Amino acid sequence: MKLYVGFIVFLLYCFGDTSSAKKARRSDSWCHKAPGLSVSQRKLCFRVLGLETAIKKGIERGLSECEREFQWSRWNCSALVNKSLLERAPAGTREAAFTTALLSASIAYSVTKACTAKNVTECRCEGIRRPRYGQTWKRKGCSANAHFGTYSSERFMLNDRRNKSAIDTLVMKHNIRVGLQVLQENRVAKCTVGKTGRVKSCHLTLPPLHKISRIIKGKYHLATRVTAHKRGKNNSPFLRTIERYRDRPNGKRPRKSSLVYIRYSPTYCYRQNEYGIPGTRGRRCQLNSLKEGDCTLMCCGRGYKREAKLQKRFCDCKTSVDKPCSCKVCTDVIMENKCM
């Protein structure tokens, strides 16, 4: 009897406090510690096994792509002071539209990759459809399940609750779907030819993420300014484009493939605590450059200073049969231009 009671106590000790153990694990997780995420976003991380890792990787890769694309611009996608992890530009601006679209695409990209690698439960390869009449190839293998990835990304991004107005929410929804549409439309077929040489077996794969970010950056330059109108008994708002030169609504809906914004962007030249903008002071720039990053534009007329930077590298490496590779350490002097 004592042995039986002891066994029950052992089971309760091992398995009886699973809820508190789960809470402890969640409190140490990335989703719990990431700044600025809403309660709904944190819950979504743990709803499906493996989803948290995929979302984390998607956000990190998306922000890295954003910083790479705008490294020579006044706005360089750097973290805003005392702002959320996902907030890299003032709300409603053209830059915020780009960030929203790119992050939604990169999260969907990462979740889709995780699904294909079977690292996320409750998702699988995209279903194989029958080939169309006259089609010389058939689907075979694990196609990238972008549908689950886009669904998860859209839910995560839409659960962002940072005191948004009705028009801010509409604009965010629109730009999220633009990013997801770019991902869906740019999947590519990877094919292998059969033994007969006639029928090819193909499955859909995702392109490199930098291709997605490049396409979205093109949409950033062509973004449309919009405003909100109300209609119906409930006065539900909807978006209408604003004429570029007359600064008034023209009654047209924005294209589903176009990024939209509602507010003009600040200069990003100076530190603005209201928006958390750090400014361009101390940023690197390039001399006599006709492209982005020119010191005249980057430094906003404040001038720049030249600094010498020492950079070490391996040089004069020698190899032999009897001895391991040996190298010297050389020091190069690199001149950098920084905004004042």
pLDDT band at 331 (very low <50, low <70, confident <90, very high): very high
Look up the pTM and report it. 0.82
Each as own residue / partner, the long-range contacts of residues 246-249 (CB below 8 Å, 24 or more positions apart, any chain) are none
In this structure, the strands spanning 236-241 and 224-231 are: antiparallel
| pLDDT number for residue 269 | 94
Q: 109 φ, ψ to 5°?
A: -60, -50
Query: In 3D, which of 301, 334, 299, 307 has the Cα closest to residue 73?
Result: 299
pLDDT above 70 (res 5)? no
252-309 confidence digits (pLDDT tens): 888 999 999 999 999 999 999 888 899 999 999 988 767 788 999 999 999 999 998 8
User: Which residue, chain included where needed, has tokens 């969640």?
Assistant: 26
Q: Which residue has the higher pLDDT, 200 or 315?
A: 315
C-alpha angle 159/165/169, rounded to 5°? 45
161-197 confidence digits (pLDDT tens): 666 788 888 999 999 999 999 999 998 887 777 666 6
Least confident of 1-15, 65-79, 205-219, 262-276: 1-15
| pLDDT number for residue 32 | 84
259/257 Cα distance (integer angstroms): 7
Most confident region among 22-26, 118-122, 196-200, 287-291 by mean pLDDT: 118-122
| pLDDT number for residue 36 | 83
| pLDDT number for residue 129 | 53
User: Does residue 334 sit in helix, strand or coil?
Assistant: strand
User: What contacts 177, CB < 8 A, 6 or more positions away?
Assistant: 104, 154, 256
pLDDT band at 235 (very low <50, low <70, confident <90, very high): low
pLDDT above 80 (res 13)? no
Query: In 3D, which of 96, 94, 105 has the Cα closest to residue 221?
Result: 94
| pLDDT number for residue 159 | 87
Helices 39-47 and 146-158, packing angle to 10 deg: 150
pLDDT above 80 (res 81)? no
| pLDDT number for residue 104 | 97
Q: In what order do the strands lie in the sheet with 188-193?
A: 137-139, 200-205, 188-193
Q: 313 φ, ψ to 5°?
A: -155, 160
| pLDDT number for residue 17 | 42
Q: Which residue has the higher pLDDT, 256 or 248?
A: 256
Q: What is the mean pLDDT of residues 119-145?
A: 62
31-46 confidence digits (pLDDT tens): 888 888 888 888 888 8
User: Which residue, chain included where needed, has tokens 């992050």?
Assistant: 103
User: Does residue 229 sit in helix, strand or coil?
Assistant: strand
Residue 22 burial class via C-beta count within 10 angstroms: exposed 0-12, middle 13-18, buried 19 and up: exposed
